[in-house]
Amino acid sequence: MMNKIKGKTKLNSNSFLLMVTVLMFLLMYIAGMIIYQDKGFAKPQMFLNLFISNAGLLVIGCGMTVVMITGGIDISVGSVTALVCMAAAYSMENKGLSVYTAVAASIGIGIVYGIVQGYLVAYLDIQPFIVTLAGMFFARGMTAVISTEMISIKNELFLKWANYKLYLPFGTVNKKGIYQPAYIYPTVIIALAAVILITIMLKYTKFGRRLYAIGGSQQSALMMGLNVKKTKFEAYILNGFLAGLGGFLFCLNSGAGFVEQAKGMEMDAISAAVIGGTLLSGGVGTAVGTLFGVLIKGTITSLITTQGTLSSWWVRIALSTLLCFFIVLQSIISFSKKKRKKKTGS
């Protein structure tokens, strides 16, 4: 009598959304390759640059995805990145400490942030937006307290890491006829590893599934005997860790510490996660989706740069128009899919 509910559920609405995102990314990128073929958009290195430039954001986005799945949010990540960069730069340049100490400091800052914010959110039940807003203020202010000067990192080992190219077995010939092999930096590998690990964690560990349960319904998760507080706490710590790590990757790319660094990065991370299908209300999201969210944002920026004749303000407007187009299309597709499903229910 109720077998009509059965079947055709394999592709649930969430994986459908992810598919749409991936498809749209491919369409956009291929369109760019055709339109801007003569401007090098079709080169493999152009694609790899998306990863190179966004490695830090990717790791931070993964952390954001984790807290967003629990129904939380973290808008401190941009400032934490700045703090991490500043701490790393300061410790290496002004204190003469080693790169390893800097890495430890970066991740340490991230974890401490995770612990404090996590405690406030999970155990004192304070709204995550506010806790992390305060966190954002604090980190930005602390960056200024450490140093208001720009610090350029000149540590040899650091620069060696930052400049260490991993050449890939393919490449292109430039207009002077020189073969240029495609390359990536180690940061890309770390970032992709983070995506893979978080994906596995979300899908195949108890902790991962608890995150989804809490995001779906905190009350229910509690009633089903899950430790909601602890899970949330751990989610923020994980996020803090990833913010620290991502911050350091960001630092490897930007090679400096200064107060204004990574401003607005939290919004980049949030929108990347959202474009990748993560819901701000919690319970839905994947790291792979976030990966594509980051790639889409990167591609939009890259398209605009390649275009190359927009005034400053048109850049912003174009950026948000594409973003708008994307978000609206996504919402319409998922909406009509929901409707259609209701109609064809029986």
Partner 1 sequence: MNITCKNFKSGFRKLSGRRLFMPFICLVLVLLVNVIKTPDFFEISIKNGVLYGYLIDIINRASELVILAIGMTLVTAASGGQDISVGAVMAVAAAVCCQILSGGKVTTNTFDNPLLLAILIALAVALLCGAFNGFLVSRLHIQPMVATLILYTAGRGIAQLITKGQITYIRVDSYKTMGGYIGSCPVPTPIFFAVIMVSIVYLILKKTALGLYIESVGVNGRASRLVGLNSTKIKFLTYIICSVLAGVAGIVASSRIYSADANNIGLNMEMDAILAVALGGNILSGGKFSLMGSVIGAYTIQALTTTLYAMNVSADQLPVYKAIVVIIIVVLQSSTFKKQLAGLKIRKASKAIEGGQ
Partner 2 sequence: MDQNVVLKIDNLSKSFPGVKALSNVNFCLRKGEIHALMGENGAGKSTLIKVLTGVHELESGEIHIDGINKAIINHSPQEAQGNGISTVYQEVNLCPNLTVAENLFIGREPRKAGMIDWKTMNQRSEVLLKKLKIDVSSAQMLEECSIAIQQMIAIARAIDMKCKVLILDEPTSSLDEDEVEKLFDLMRHLRGEGVGIIFVTHFLEQVYAICDRITVLRNGELVGEYVTEKLPRIQLVAKMMGKDIDDLADIKSEQKKFTEEESLIVADGLGHAGSIKPFHLEINKGEVIGLTGLLGSGRSELVRVIYGADKPDSGKLIFKGKEVKINTPLDAMKLGMSYLPEDRKKEGIIPDLSVRENIIIALQAKRGMFKPMSKKEMEEAADKYIDLLNIKTAGRETPVKSLSGGNQQKVIIGRWLLTNPEYLILDEPTRGIDIGTKTEIQKLVLELAEEGKAVSFISSEVEEMLRTCSRMVVLRDGKKIGEISGDQLTQETIMKTIAGGEDR
Partner 3 sequence: SNSKDVNAGSTPDAKAPTDTSKSKDLITVGFSQVGAESDWRTANTESMKSTFSEANGYELIFDDAQQKQENQIAAIRNFIQQEVDYIVLAPVTETGWDTVLQEAKDAGIPVIIVDRMVNVSDDSLYTAWVGSNFELEGKKAAAWLDAYLKAAGKDKDEVNIVDIQGTIGASAQIGRTKGLEDAVKQHSSWKLLAKTTGEFTQAKGQEVMESLLKQYGDKIDVVYCENDNEAFGAIDAIEAAGYKVGVDGDMIVMSFDSTNAGLSDTLNGKITLNTECNPLHGPRVEEIIKDLQSGKTVDKQKYVEEGIFSFENSVPSIKIDGVDYPVTQVTKDLAAQRAY
* Contact of residue 301 among partner 2, partner 3, partner 1, none (CB under 5-8 Å per partner type): partner 3
Report if residue 315 touches partner 3, rule: CB under 8 A: yes
Query: Quick one: how far is CA 283 from the chain centroid?
Result: 18
Angle, alpha carbons 67-73-78 (nearest 5°): 105
> What part of residues 161-220 is at the interface with partner 1 (CB under 8 A)?
none
Give the HSE-up count for residue 200: Cα atoms under 13 Å, Cβ half-sphere: 5
Contacting partner 2 (CB under 8 A), which of 223, 280, 317, 329?
223
The Cα-based distances of 62 to 2, 114, 133, 201, 325 in angstroms read 39, 14, 19, 11, 24
Q: Does 142 bind partner 3 (CB under 8 A)?
A: no
Beta strands in 121-163 (DSSP E): 151-152
DSSP 177: S
Burial class from Cβ neighbours inside 10 Å (0-12, 13-18, 19+) for residue 179 reads: exposed
Q: Is 6 in the site for partner 2 (CB under 8 A)?
A: yes
Query: Which entry of partner 1, partner 2, ligand ATP, none binds 220, CB below 5 to 8 A by partner kind?
Result: partner 2
Q: Determine if 328 is a binding residue for partner 1 (CB under 8 A).
A: yes
End-to-end CA separation in angstroms for the chain: 11
Please state, in angstroms and as integers, the Cα–Cα distance from residue 343 to each residue in 166, 191, 337, following that order.
52, 42, 10
* Footprint of partner 2 on 61-120 (CB under 8 A): none
Backbone torsions φ then ψ of 154, nearest 5 degrees:
-115, 0
Contacts of 121 (CB under 8 A, 6+ apart): 72, 127, 128, 131, 232, 233, 236
Give the interface size with partner 1 as a residue count (CB under 8 A): 46
Which one-letter DSSP state was computed for residue 282? S
Q: How far apart are CA 301 and CA 256, in angstroms?
A: 22
Phi, psi of 151 (to 5 degrees): -115, 120
Other Cβ atoms less than 10 A from the Cβ of 214: the count is: 27
Q: Where are the beta strands (DSSP E) in the chain?
A: 151-152, 166-173, 179-184, 256-257
The answer to the question of residue 98 lying near partner 3 (CB under 8 A) is no
3-state helix, strand, coil split of the chain in percent (to 5) is: 75, 5, 20
Residue 321 sits in the site that holds partner 3 (CB under 8 A)? no
Q: Is 1 in the site for ligand ATP (CB under 6 A)?
A: no
Task: Judge whether 123 and 227 are in contact, CB under 8 Å.
Answer: no
Q: Which residue lies nearer to ligand ATP by CB, 4 or 175?
A: 4
Binding mask 234-273 for partner 1 (x = CB under 8 A): -------------------------x-------x--xx--
Residue ranges in 178-207 that form contacts with partner 2 under rule CB under 8 A: 200, 203-206
Q: Does the protein bind partner 1 through residue 224 (CB under 8 A)?
A: no
Binding segment for partner 3 (CB under 8 A), chosen from 4-12, 199-207, 218-226, 294-302, is: 294-302
Among ligand ATP, partner 1, partner 3, none, the one that 170 touches (CB under a kind-dependent 5 to 8 A) is none
Nearer Cβ to partner 3 (127/320): 320
Site for ligand ATP in 2-21 (CB under 6 A): 4-5
* 203 binds partner 3 per the rule CB under 8 A: no
Interface with partner 2 (CB under 8 A), residue from 222, 256, 304, 333: 222
- Residue nearer to ligand ATP on the CB measure, 16 or 47: 16
Report the interface residues with partner 3, using CB under 8 A.
Answer: 38-41, 43, 45-46, 49, 52-53, 144, 148-154, 159, 162-163, 174-176, 178, 180, 250, 252-264, 298, 301-302, 304-306, 308-313, 315-316
Report the interface residues with partner 1, using CB under 8 A.
Answer: 120, 123-127, 129-131, 133-138, 140-142, 144-145, 148, 259, 267, 270-271, 274, 279-281, 311-317, 319-321, 323-324, 327-328, 331-332, 335
